[in-house]
Amino acid sequence: MKAPENVYSQHHLFLSTQEREKGIGQRGKVVWLYGLSGAGKTTIGAGLERSLFEKGRQVVVLDGDNLRTGLNADLGFSDDDRRENVRRVAEVARVLSSQGAIVIVAVITPSNKLRDLARGIVGEQFLGVFVKASLEACQARDPKGLYAKVTDGKIRNFTGKDSGFELPSAPDLVIDTETLSIEEAVMVVFRELQKS
């Protein structure tokens, strides 16, 4: 039987945020972890992912480092490229959180302007988490050996060294990884998520 032409021309809508959140039993959210390289963004992100996943939550990770080899492979570390990097990640996070997912983002996001850009794109589902550690602590940890490469002159425009990192003026949440253990840090963010 031939399908009537008009059926495919009607409005067929994707599920709404409300339908999805009701069905999944959670609210969409974007946890935007920002801070210096080595501050602990990925560590906390991974711990948070695991905690949420084990409780049956739908959780997605957008890790800045991983995206740099894929979605943002065409971008460098100039101001314009950092901005475009943040814009794209925020746009993807917005799409996913509007479909009910809890999205964990880990991106340096070195300036208040960039944090505002991300928040503006995502909207009210945005939770900005400043993952705080001194430059000295980050250099001592140097999990990816990047600070050593900067010292050796092999990397330029590295945030905290020859490229600036602006302290947040009004962070939603601050996680000091020089005083909190990983488990404590994850728990603080987890509890904050339960409030919303």
Among 114, 133, 146, 175, binds a second copy (CB under 8 A): 133
Residue 161 or residue 195: which is nearer to a second copy going by CB? 161
By CB atoms closer than 10 A (0-12, 13-18, 19+), residue 36 is buried
Q: Is residue 45 involved in binding a second copy (CB under 8 A)?
A: yes
Q: Is residue 62 involved in binding a second copy (CB under 8 A)?
A: yes
Q: Is residue 114 involved in binding a second copy (CB under 8 A)?
A: no
Among 16, 78, 151, 179, binds a second copy (CB under 8 A): 179
x/- string (CB under 8 A) for a second copy, residues 155-174? --------------------
Among 18, 169, 181, 196, binds a second copy (CB under 8 A): 181
Q: Is residue 196 involved in binding a second copy (CB under 8 A)?
A: no
